[in-house]
Structure 1
């Protein structure tokens, strides 16, 4: 075998064989998904923590508008670096050990925030939690997809995003009753629990096979699936091959590579991270009386519809849900932009604050109704995103890459996602100033239209297929 003609790991479950019955598979998936729960909490932490930091002044580190922007966005820079680190770790240390290692920067980052006496300690803590977010966001989907059999891979893979949004909602809810230091203490809980549980879980059978650990792979399969029925001992096991640029000539590599990067880019260009980081600000500008309650409602809707997506993923299929999700986001972002256009002040453009003020100083009779249009549009957007574009890019990323390039390919996808998240989050305020609020959301709507076309014409259906069958599809076999 040469790098130009890589062999895939043979099927671990014979087509037509009886379905596995192991319940410990679900415990292993839950343990791995505590990593996404932790990085969801880290993402949502900034929304309640920024107002809490400002209320606590002068006892808390000073946080002006610029510092608050960096406090919200720097976690994505750390996550971008974590995505690269995770791609290196997942192939060399393995899936399980990579998840165990990412608990350290999670706990250290939140501990540093808890002890913060100045802005740099806050940003350092956010950077460390971001690093852990990048590793967890890459390794958890890969681990779950490789331990799952086809009938439940969509369900368990979607639980990655479900735990992310549950982490965000947990941060919003806890932010009601906890000030920023105690909120950071709470953030140490999920990664600590993941460390304890993952110590008892096995490595994925596919990774063990690449290391020629056949007995360990069989034992892992028995642990996860309840038996080794359907096990096929390969006559000649392929050596594990690293990524080489020459591999990009092969359709089995470059096709999923393009699809994975595009999915991650479109996910962030929908504007969802800006919405989540600045949820309270957006609802305040929409004149919603209780912006904290609005954020919690948004988080609850996201949890609900992500759960619905997980339940129907293996029936409806990935491509249909992506398309439906994109259509819903097109209409909701268009409606939200229309709200800002109708209520936008006609006053001078002299200041950033003026540009962010959607409601004129003189009251209008339609303001209450239009405010509910904004709230409804945002809720519909979150529901649509959670139904498809939230969970599916992460699920597909873990499914479409062959084993010999999975570490590098997934790390580039995660790097793309987090860099796009940083750009969107950091430049959201500038976009609101240049394009004004209505233009910003109409731009997001245009990107959502592109995502619909891409998902319908370019994304293959992977439901019910083994990872090896998916690889064979891209290779034309």
Structure 2
């Protein structure tokens, strides 16, 4: 084999090599995915905890409305910082050690909440768990994509988002029977289990090769896949050159950069946080006896359809699922906007309260029917989002970047995602005042249309390709 031909050899299989069948790769992926499970639990924790904290009596800390809003929002800000920190750690400390390190702020944050005697201790605990969320949301997809072979990379990569929504649903369900302190104690469980399991798991072969540990990399492949038959060690560039702005002139760098950042932005601009914000109000309009059931129903739909996406990801492909997901969200957000158009007062000087509570202009039966239209469109949106735009941006983020810029590039993507989540959540009420609620949701529908067009014209299919083949595609090789 000539050096020129060796340069093009994929990481995983030589021609004629047998497909890997090792099962330990699934255990390693599960261990890493406990980070996203912890991340989901931390996100979902505020929903049942805030009402409990608002009802608490001294000497327990009590949240007023202002403190409650910060209790929910501060996670997104510290998670954005965690994304930047994770981008640095994943390149300098390695994928495995970064996963181990992020368990510390998870456990410390929930422990601080458990022991909280005042509001500042509560907010401090949320800051720590948010920091861990940012790191985990970056490093878990990277670790899983680098240990998986192409035939299962979509399945395992989609499990990151699946574990996030399972964590959210777990927090909702546990919140029915546990008060906020014991709920925080439960939050210490997943990161502790991840710490124990990850201690037994190896570093990724790709990172070991950047450290010139060739024998260890091959031993890792044998451990995870059961055999290194057919595995060809790729040539390693000088991975320590670091990221420089001049690199953005190269198509192999700026193309995945634009795709990764755009995916994260479109995910948040789809309106998913606004839909979740309205969930309980809409279920009340539909005469549900227990409107808090809305959160559990939404969480169950997310888990179900994210699981379906994981199972079919490596058969259908990333692009078709993204496009289908976007089309479903276009129709559901349009229907949701139409609901508000039909039920809201047309007066331009309505109060802020009017914006949050639909005002029926129809007889009671018709109003109830419209509320069920909103429930249906809301459930359809969550199903469509979970099928594509929920899991796939995180999966593609871990697949498309060359190894020597992966830490910085994934850090920028995670930072974009969390900052957009904060801005959309924080400014959505202002947007509703300017455009009315129906206008705000129709704007979300327009962004969903843009996401479908972006998928069709800009995103390459990565199904069944090695990470080296994906990099070669962007470089034009």
TM-score normalized with structure 2 length: 0.94
Within a 5 Å distance, the mapping from 1:325-404 to structure 2 comes to 325-345=325-345, 349=349, 351-360=351-360, 364-404=364-404
Structure 1 237/263 Cα, relative in aligned 2: closer, same or farther at 3 Å? closer
Q: CA deviation at 1:273?
A: 3.0
Q: CA deviation at 1:11?
A: 1.9
Q: Paired residue for 2:269?
A: 269
Q: Which runs of 5+ in 1 are unaligned?
A: 1-6
Matches of 1:348 and 1:252 in 2, distance apart?
A: 50
Q: Paired residue for 1:238?
A: 237
Matches of 1:374 and 1:412 in 2, distance apart?
A: 35
Q: CA deviation at 1:180?
A: 1.4
Q: Which runs of 5+ in 2 are unaligned?
A: 1-6
Q: CA deviation at 1:17?
A: 1.7
Q: CA deviation at 1:285?
A: 6.2
Contact 2:147-2:204 at 8 Å conserved across structures? yes
Structure 1 436/58 Cα, relative in aligned 2: closer, same or farther at 3 Å? farther
Q: CA deviation at 1:331?
A: 0.6
Q: Paired residue for 2:145?
A: 145
Task: Name the SS for the 1:291 alignment partner.
Answer: coil
Task: Name the SS for the 1:426 alignment partner.
Answer: helix
Matches of 1:121 and 1:141 in 2, distance apart?
A: 31
Q: Paired residue for 1:3?
A: none
Contact 2:77-2:130 at 8 Å conserved across structures? yes
| Cα deviation 1:134-181 (Å, max 9, x = unaligned) | 000000000000000000000000000000010111111111111111
**2:293 is equivalent to residue 290 of structure 1:** no
Q: CA deviation at 1:16?
A: 4.1
Q: Paired residue for 1:122?
A: 122
Matches of 1:8 and 1:245 in 2, distance apart?
A: 26
| Cα deviation 1:214-234 (Å, max 9, x = unaligned) | 111111111100011123345
Task: Name the SS for the 2:292 alignment partner.
Answer: helix
Q: Paired residue for 1:223?
A: 223
Task: Name the SS for the 1:462 alignment partner.
Answer: coil
Structure 1 286/357 Cα, relative in aligned 2: closer, same or farther at 3 Å? farther
| Cα deviation 1:35-57 (Å, max 9, x = unaligned) | 00011111111111122222224
Q: CA deviation at 1:68?
A: 2.1
Q: CA deviation at 1:65?
A: 2.8
Q: For structure 1, which segment, 271-280 or 70-79, has the greater mean C-alpha deviation from structure 2 after superposition? A: 271-280
Task: Name the SS for the 1:366 alignment partner.
Answer: helix
Structure 1 338/64 Cα, relative in aligned 2: closer, same or farther at 3 Å? farther
Q: Paired residue for 2:95?
A: 95
Contact 1:356-1:436 at 8 Å conserved across structures? no
| Cα deviation 1:231-279 (Å, max 9, x = unaligned) | 3345x64331311111101000000000000000000111213434664
Q: Paired residue for 1:451?
A: 451
Q: For structure 1, which segment, 280-289 or 297-306, has the greater mean C-alpha deviation from structure 2 after superposition? A: 280-289
Q: Paired residue for 2:3?
A: none
Q: Paired residue for 1:312?
A: 312
Matches of 1:218 and 1:361 in 2, distance apart?
A: 69
Q: For structure 1, which segment, 7-16 or 50-59, has the greater mean C-alpha deviation from structure 2 after superposition? A: 7-16
Q: Paired residue for 2:33?
A: 33
Aligned-pair Cα RMSD in Å: 1.9
Q: For structure 1, which segment, 253-262 or 121-130, has the greater mean C-alpha deviation from structure 2 after superposition? A: 121-130
Matches of 2:71 and 2:274 in 1, distance apart?
A: 13
Structure 1 317/361 Cα, relative in aligned 2: closer, same or farther at 3 Å? closer
| Cα deviation 1:399-419 (Å, max 9, x = unaligned) | 000001000000000000000
Contact 1:349-1:355 at 8 Å conserved across structures? no
Task: Name the SS for the 2:358 alignment partner.
Answer: coil
Q: CA deviation at 1:101?
A: 0.2
Q: Paired residue for 1:159?
A: 159
Matches of 1:434 and 1:113 in 2, distance apart?
A: 38
Q: Paired residue for 2:183?
A: 183
Task: Name the SS for the 1:229 alignment partner.
Answer: coil
Matches of 2:308 and 2:124 in 1, distance apart?
A: 37
Matches of 2:127 and 2:345 in 1, distance apart?
A: 38
Q: Paired residue for 2:464?
A: 464
Matches of 1:68 and 1:261 in 2, distance apart?
A: 30
Task: Name the SS for the 2:40 alignment partner.
Answer: helix
| Cα deviation 1:93-125 (Å, max 9, x = unaligned) | 000000000000111111111122222222211
Q: CA deviation at 1:437?
A: 2.2
Q: CA deviation at 1:431?
A: 2.8
Q: Paired residue for 1:196?
A: 196
Structure 1 66/443 Cα, relative in aligned 2: closer, same or farther at 3 Å? farther
Q: Paired residue for 1:249?
A: 249
Q: Paired residue for 1:4?
A: none
Contact 1:141-1:157 at 8 Å conserved across structures? yes
Matches of 1:469 and 1:433 in 2, distance apart?
A: 48
Matches of 2:205 and 2:73 in 1, distance apart?
A: 37
Task: Name the SS for the 1:464 alignment partner.
Answer: coil
